Amino acid sequence: MKKFLIPSLYLGLLIACNSPEKTIDYTQMSDEDRLAAAKEIAHQTIMVDGHVDLPYRMKVGGFTLQREILDVSVRTPDGNFDFPRSKEGGLDAPFMSIYIPAGNQQIPGASKALADSLIMMTERLANTFPDKFAMAYSPADIEANFAKGLISLPMGMENGAGLEDDIKNVEYFHQRGIRYITLTHGKANLIGDSSYDSLRPHGGLSEYGEQVVKEMNRVGIMVDLSHVSDDTFKDALAITQVPVIASHSSARKFTPGFERNMSDELIKAMAENGGVMMINFGGSFIDSTYAAGQAKVREHIVNWLAENNLSRRDSAAQAYIAEYAAANNPFPTVQKVADHIDHVVSLVGIDHVGFGSDFDGVGDSLPTGLKDVSMFPNLIAELLKRGYSREDIEKICYKNIFRVWKAVEDFASSQQ
């Protein structure tokens, strides 16, 4: 329970517990002291992020042992994730997104081939830097890696198109280490309809998609309902026998008309299922004002480039674009992300929310104060300021997603 709901009673109960740690009232601290406390919590607590797009960033940037290309074992000049910044922010287990662009769906075999290559790339990262990274296939693996000071690399497949049209690939990808599958991405696929796609060929899940959800339950892969249409979401909930997740979604209340985010109805349905919604940090996901401003800025820049006969690659254009965007499309702040967490908690309680940043996947739209993985303590400090307890923070950081993950594991074990 959040302290600000019943502050005097809550504080009295804490004092009665005779635990010095539990008597801390973070709301009464200075901002400086609260941030220090947030950093301590971040480093002492396992922190899971439901969605980080590092594998595809490595594919685009080129991953080799040559540091001049891309080596995230050291601090990198761009992107949102690398080992030093992850350690600074206290992020211990970023789910590596095995991202399959919708365009790959047009070429038979291309989606599965890309998934395999991104999995191998992630494994290579762990094998190349075993003193920094380690693969993780269960909550127990993450706990063991955390004790060793290693960053865990669990994997989730973003876009079930990687399964192609073969149900046997569900078990295949479980064996390859995939622990959640986002059923769709930007376009409808063989499994179901996408929130981003105006075409709805299945009206929700397809018959094949129903088989996929059941098979994911059987083998122990979490069902991820980020990106799917509302009808696909409801169909999946009706079929699954275990809790589901939304690995990187935010609340539609703050972005009316944006189906990619979750409505209050869907948030409540997910909570009834026992699932967890992991909040996306992207600007257009958390703030409709930012999304509208972004569209206006984009239109202005396109016109300005044409009028001045410049391309985005020109240095003069880059300087103007950066200056104009900063002046005319203010970024949301870390407080906006906390607002989404507050909303989920007010609807369904603290047990159904987590972090799903979409770092390395949402470009430069990230909020002020949450520009990369080193800045997680800023969000934790904001939550402490709003009255969240340390136990609340631990649930958001890992206990909620671990609960779902273990439930999926247990069900799969019972089916063997």
Is 60 exceeded by the pLDDT of residue 35?
yes
Note whether 92 and 223 are same-domain residues. Answer: yes
Note whether 117 and 209 are same-domain residues. Answer: yes
Task: Note if the pTM is more than 0.85.
Answer: yes
| Boundaries of domain holding 321 | 289-331
Note whether 316 and 384 are same-domain residues. Answer: no
Note whether 268 and 149 are same-domain residues. Answer: yes
Q: Is residue 209 part of a domain?
A: yes
Residue 370: what pLDDT? 97
Angle between helices 230-239 and 207-219 (to 10 degrees): 50
Q: Is residue 319 part of a domain?
A: yes
Note whether 200 and 128 are same-domain residues. Answer: yes
Note whether 72 and 173 are same-domain residues. Answer: yes
Alpha helices in 182-244 (DSSP H): 207-219, 230-239
Q: Is residue 7 part of a domain?
A: no
Note whether 293 and 341 are same-domain residues. Answer: no
Least confident of 23-27, 126-130, 136-140: 23-27
Note whether 217 and 253 are same-domain residues. Answer: yes
Q: Is residue 13 part of a domain?
A: no
| Residue-wise pLDDT tens digits, 278-301 | 999 999 999 998 877 878 888 899
Q: Check which CATH number belongs to the domain holding 240 and give it.
A: 3.20.20.140
Note whether 117 and 199 are same-domain residues. Answer: yes
Is 70 exceeded by the pLDDT of residue 40?
yes
Q: How many domains does the chain have?
A: 2
How far apart, in whole angstroms, are the C-alpha atoms of residue 51 and residue 212?
21
Note whether 56 and 116 are same-domain residues. Answer: yes
Q: Are 279 and 255 in contact (CB under 8 A)?
A: no
How far apart, in whole angstroms, are the C-alpha atoms of residue 379 and residue 3?
17
